[in-house]
A and B are shown apart, each in its own frame.
Chain A
Amino acid sequence: MSTLAQLGETDQSTKDNIGTRDSNKDQILLRNRESVFIEEGPTQIQQQLIGTAFILGHSANGVLGTSTLGAGTLGSYTKYSVVNPDKTFHEHFRDTDFRDSVNTTGTWDTTNFRVELMITDQMQTGSIFYDYKEVSGVKITASTSGLKIRTQIDEQNFSGGREVNLT
């Protein structure tokens, strides 16, 4: 005659031998992996001519009577160069630094990090590559994180232009 405990063990033993063999190999501990990366963005080089501004100690603009104190003017900033790491520009729509505000009619949405285009809208960037090197081609990749534009440089003087704008 079996005790209640013995009956329970027998029952357990029977169940354990049915179905998939016990194993811990299939146990997957789910981890919500999250990565953060640091991205080096484009570099812009600008130059500004000093114009007629009075600059104390300057060989040309520091001469009283030549450059009028308080009345001279500085030149405006002009673009000299735009270069990108690995020749690749990323537009994440988190700022409007490279939006061509004149020609862009779509919504450059820096809140939701996207551009919204209706049927007749267009999006145009400013110069996302600008250097005295010949451009032979451009590769564009669109993803949920924005646009990636890779510029190909031809060192053999391919006459493809020296500036890239995306429209």
Chain B
Amino acid sequence: MVLLDTGVTVLRDAMSSDFSSGQAGTGTFPTFETQTSLFTPVATTLNTLSTNIKSKNIITLTHVVTIAEANGSTLAEWEILGNSDGTDYNRIVLSGLVKSSTTEITMIQVFSITRI
């Protein structure tokens, strides 16, 4: 028995179709697997993903915070949300980035599905 490439593609597509939106926040608490949301989300940054690209077994997602959003906030956490029920897929923490109206921020996130 072997899982075919077409089977991997089905899994990839199912996952990709559920990725819906992204959001940034100002929380700095470290990441743990049991977390369920951003610590301090910035509501205006909740946007539909700009891109959701499928290639081979890789999904590349892009989320943009525009020049009009989150200005004055120090963005330090990001998340990807699912389409079906808004569940958070992940949470990322980085050193804070001060957002201003002269800057647009793009977050690029990659997921891959691999056989072992």
- Interface residues contributed by chain B, number (CB under 8 Å): 36
What residue in chain B is nearest A45 (Cβ atoms)?
B107
- B residues less than 8 Å from A133 (CB atoms): 95
- A residues less than 8 Å from B104 (CB atoms): 47-48, 50
- B residues less than 8 Å from A55 (CB atoms): 67
State whether the Cβ of B43 lies closer than 8 Å to any Cβ in chain A. no
User: 8 Å CB contacts to A: which residues of B33-72?
Assistant: 55-58, 67-68
- B residues less than 8 Å from A47 (CB atoms): 97, 103-106
Q: Complex formed: what's the CA distance from A132 to B101 in Å? A: 22
Q: Complex formed: what's the CA distance from A93 to B11 in Å? A: 21
Q: How far is the CB of A137 from chain B (nearest CB, A)?
A: 19
Cβ–Cβ contact B115 & A41, under 8 A: no
Kindly identify which residue among B2, B101, B107, B111 contacts A38, using a CB–CB cutoff of 8 Å. B111
- A residues less than 8 Å from B95 (CB atoms): 81, 131-133
Q: Complex formed: what's the CA distance from A37 to B111 in Å? A: 10
* Chain B residues at the A interface, C-beta cutoff of 8 Å: 1-3, 8, 11, 15, 31, 55-58, 67-68, 78, 90, 92-95, 97, 101-116
- Listed A/B pairs (25) with beta-carbon separation below 8 Å: A34-B1, A35-B115, A36-B115, A38-B111, A38-B112, A38-B113, A39-B111, A39-B113, A42-B110, A43-B92, A43-B110, A45-B97, A45-B106, A45-B107, A47-B104, A48-B103, A49-B102, A50-B103, A60-B102, A81-B95, A83-B94, A95-B55, A97-B110, A131-B94, A145-B114
- B residues less than 8 Å from A49 (CB atoms): 102-103
A-B contact number at CB 8 A: 107
Kindly identify which residue among B15, B31, B106 contacts A46, using a CB–CB cutoff of 8 Å. B106
User: 8 Å CB contacts to B: which residues of A46-80?
Assistant: 46-50, 55, 57-60, 77, 80
Q: How far is the CB of A43 from chain B (nearest CB, A)?
A: 5
- A residues less than 8 Å from B1 (CB atoms): 32, 34
